[in-house]
Amino acid sequence: MPADAAPSPWLQRWAHLLPATARVLDVACGRGRHARWLAARGHVVTAVDRDAAAIAALDGIAEARQADIESGPWPWPGRQWDLVLVTNYLWRPLTPVLRDAVAPGGWLIHETFAAGNETVGKPSRADFLLRPGELLAMHADWRIVGYEDGFVDGPARFVQRIVARRPHAADPPVLRHALAPPEDAGTGG
């Protein structure tokens, strides 16, 4: 399998969290490296990309739909998946839609380019680069089980990656780590 066809190591690292026949949405799937890998593992895969040729190549592997999700309507209003997977793609206005597409108790795996990437290649426009801590902020109310922000080799790039679980209504509130001391710290109280 060519290197560009291999699934993301981040996805491979966290795939064990999925139930055996998870329903998966691969957003901006490109040629389908993740859709193919997930389908081969027994998952029921839905894939979307604006490239019609890429989508056509997934016939028989995934429920594949050609759609421009940046300027057109969301193809599946109200539908939810056990995993929503996003790699090498960022369109901030789509974030609420993608969060809603994760079923309660389901997972979001998002891995894309981050600030600093402009020093090593493309994308280099700020519109396509996550700001420091941005993925954490987007999903602060979910259970974060994995997060990285930094430089990786092969190819050289700056990335942020997150694995977050959407809570069930009955789940306890997500614990938040204090970034500042408690309000009464240092008051002698």
pLDDT in tens, 129-178: 999 999 999 999 999 999 999 999 988 999 999 999 999 887 776 654 43
143-152 and 81-87 strand pairing: unpaired
Domain contains 65: yes
Residue 102 bridge partners (DSSP) = 81
pLDDT in tens, 83-92: 999 999 999 9
- Structural domain harbouring 152: 3-165
Is the Cβ–Cβ distance between 23 and 44 less than 8 Å?
Answer: yes
pLDDT in tens, 44-60: 999 999 999 999 999 99
Domain contains 189: no
Tell which residue, 81, 82, 79, 50, has the closest CA to residue 64.
50
Domain contains 178: no
Domain contains 132: yes
Range 92-112 average pLDDT: 97
CATH code, domain carrying 11: 3.40.50.150
Domain contains 143: yes
pLDDT for 183 equals 47
- How many domains are contained in the chain? 1
Tell which residue, 91, 92, 118, 102, has the closest CA to residue 28.
91
Three-class SS of residue 11? helix
Domain contains 188: no
Interacting residues of 176 by C-beta distance below 8 A, sequence separation 6+:
140
Share of the chain above pLDDT 90, in %: 80
- Calculate the alpha carbon distances from 52 to 2, 5, 62, 76, 79 in Å: 22, 18, 14, 18, 22
